[in-house]
Amino acid sequence: MVDLPEHDQKTRTSVELFAGGGGLAMAVDRAGFRPLLFNEYANYACQTLADNGAEPVPAGEQPEIPKPGQPVPLVPGDVQKLDMTYLEGEVDLLAGGPPCQPFSLGGVAKGDEDKRNMFPHMFRAIREMRPKAVICENVRGLLRPSFRDYFKYIQRELELPFMLRRDDVSWQEHDRVLQREHKAKTLPADERYHVVVMPVNAANYGVPQVRQRVIMVAFREDLNINYTTFEKHVQNYPFSEAALHRAMRQGDYWQRFEEAGCPVPDHVIERTMARLPEVITEVDDQLKPWRTLRDAVTGLGTDERLPALPPIDRKKLDRKTNQGGKITDHIGWPDARIYAGHTPNELDRPAKTVKAGVHGVPGGESVMLLDERERDTAKPGGWRYVHRYMTVRETARVMTFPDEWKAAGPRGERMRQLGNAVPVVLGEFFARAVAEALANAGK
């Protein structure tokens, strides 16, 4: 994978299922885990993984455990046909985001009845590999009242993955069995997992995007992990909206763009400041300001300083001219519109949630309001701010992918991969917390 630390210096290992474009896989690698296997079903996503360093395994062949420094084996295709028993005892961390369509509004929210529900195969992977820890990311839709009971069942299955559900048994019946075992604890500790469920907003963890998700982390119970310490770690998120408001009011926010050579026009500052709340909530001095879309496009959207993305020439919204120089995928796209229910991103807020959408362009989430304005007497103040579609590269920065990341397929497919991904910075925060918990337990 692109932009990853050197594999041969890593002692902990990982496997990534439902790898998509590689956001969580990259995050886990950056946190110090050496990947042993990727699996992904979608063809374009598989090509993306291969273009970024993974090595596809020929159909019908069994992947081998890579030695340090070797490419990560990628098994394209249906996870239901993937045999992972050869990895038993070799994996420290299993990571993945089972397809979220069964639990999202965009996917009609069929839940357990939806054939795309891949949680059972996460549990099968646990049985076959017995990893020390598991990270599972999914949409907030799992927390909706209509899914509450089923989500509790998913948690109990993750706690007790070795208690198989027969095909002729309903999930409600199986759930009652799991609840009895949860109390009795008759299974050995190495076949039980302690599960931590975290509703998260990615913006609170340094992602320049408001993205509401659920992250489940499970630790094998024979490892003597300090769960209290782990939970405090992941709950103490380092960024806040109030800190952003304070930085704007005190001027620090605007000053950093001046120092980066990307000054913000006075009329934009005035407009933004006028919208700040009159009273800013008291802010812990340890909390950093939320990162914004402007941070992302000017190269300040992660801890790693990146070059500012060149402005898009709106006369070249031609679907083909790369305007990023050496930075790829910075291509203008025409016909962006804003209207009721299709409102744009603003530069001085975190971006709206990047969504996969039906065609990779789901709505206002892909449109951005620019600093440029034009005279329009019909608008308040006599000005109209210009808008356009975000480029794939701008969207990738909002998802905290490095500029070296290559996406395969047409624009819609690239945007779909980004919308389905785990932001790298968010995944890395949780993967590092898992690594620290294992280290503190001597594992």
Burial 31-49 (b: 16+ CB within 10 A, else e): bbbbbbbbbbbbebbbbbb
46, 100, 136, 262: which is the annotated catalytic residue?
100
- In angstroms, rounded to a whole number, what is the distance separating the alpha carbons of residues 173 and 183? 16
**Strand 288-289 to 239-240 pairing:** parallel
| List of E strands, 202-282 | 212-220, 239-240
Residues in contact with 299: Cβ distance below 8 Å, sequence separation at least 6, in sequence order: 260, 305, 306, 307, 308, 309
Specify which residues 91 forms β-bridges with: none
- In angstroms, rounded to a whole number, what is the distance separating the alpha carbons of residues 350 and 202? 10
Specify which residues 56 forms β-bridges with: 74
46 is an active site residue: no
Residues in contact with 186: Cβ distance below 8 Å, sequence separation at least 6, in sequence order: none
Q: How far is CA 260 from the centre of its chain?
A: 27
Token pair 């291969």 is found at 50
Token pair 């009895």 is found at 180
Q: Side-chain half-sphere of 108: how many Cα atoms within 13 Å?
A: 8
| List of E strands, 190-273 | 193-201, 212-220, 239-240
Residue 1 near residue 25 (C-beta atoms within 8 A): yes
Angle between helices 23-30 and 424-440 (to 10 degrees): 40
- In angstroms, rounded to a whole number, what is the distance separating the alpha carbons of residues 1 and 29? 9
- In angstroms, rounded to a whole number, what is the distance separating the alpha carbons of residues 273 and 245? 9
Active-site residue set: 100
